[in-house]
Amino acid sequence: GAGVSQTPSNKVTEKGKYVELRCDPISGHTALYWYRQSLGQGPEFLIYFQGTGAADDSGLPNDRFFAVRPEGSVSTLKIQRTERGDSAVYLCASSFQMGLAGALQETQYFGPGTRLLVL
Amino acid sequence: QKEVEQDPGPLSVPEGAIVSLNCTYSNSAFQYFMWYRQYSRKGPELLMYTYSSGNKEDGRFTAQVDKSSKYISLFIRDSQPSDSATYLCAMSAAGAGGTSYGKLTFGQGTILTVHP
């Protein structure tokens, strides 16, 4: 079946510009996550959605970063006034959260990422 | 100090060798432990998932968790060139209902090369 897809796969922009990164989760997955991975580092948590609402946005670095998931499926990560330090791979993941009677495991399935380069 | 520490390597071994990858952590709230494999220019892929101290085996892979020492390991037996990738440990706290909380905290990743 189809996995998590992210578009664009690569994005080059100039400092100060606005960018939008899109994530299409696996169909039926209720939870969606955004992470940022800098070169040579592990992914760093940004924000987590359960349905349409942000359950935890504690990882967003500042108010230039914003994410939405208006219909509980596709999500968009928005970055205003981009800076060179924003250059990284932005990863999206989704999971199907089980209820109390279900499995404890909630595997996060990752997309291939969007490589953002801010010049 | 980072919550999760992982030796970045790189680690280079001959085919057939046993590989040991390790992470330490400082946050006692972490209850769920995962190992992901990431190939170049791909997203991480889950290999192992554990939520208790002890060993868990899956084919050539064994995950070991020692909560008292805040130390986790991944062992790969009979390593193959196709195992060449970056290995990431990841952890999460417990959420509502005893399931893992969504936010994962990753280690830096260890780059592994298995040469024929």
Over 80: is that where the pLDDT of A68 sits? yes
CB contact under 8 A, A91 and B109: no
| Chain B contact for A2 (CB, 8 A cutoff) | no
Higher pLDDT, B100 or A42: A42
**What is the CATH number for B50?**
2.60.40.10
CB contact under 8 A, B43 and A113: yes
Domain region containing B67:
4-95+103-115
Beta strand B105-106 with B85-93: parallel, antiparallel or unpaired?
A: antiparallel
Indicate the pLDDT class of residue A106, thresholds 50, 70 and 90. Answer: confident
Domains and CATH numbers, chain A: 5-98+109-118 (2.60.40.10)
Number of domains in chain B: 1
CB contact under 8 A, B44 and A43: yes
Residue B63's pLDDT is what?
96
Which CA distances in Å does A29 have to A54, A91, A106?
Answer: 15, 16, 10
Higher pLDDT, A98 or B33: B33
As a whole number, the mean pLDDT across chain A is: 91
| Chain B contact for A43 (CB, 8 A cutoff) | yes
As a whole number, the mean pLDDT across chain B is: 92
For residue range B38-80, list pLDDT tens digits in order: 999 999 999 999 888 889 999 999 999 999 999 999 999 999 9
Which CA distances in Å does B84 have to A31, B47, B110?
Answer: 30, 14, 10
| Chain A contact for B43 (CB, 8 A cutoff) | yes
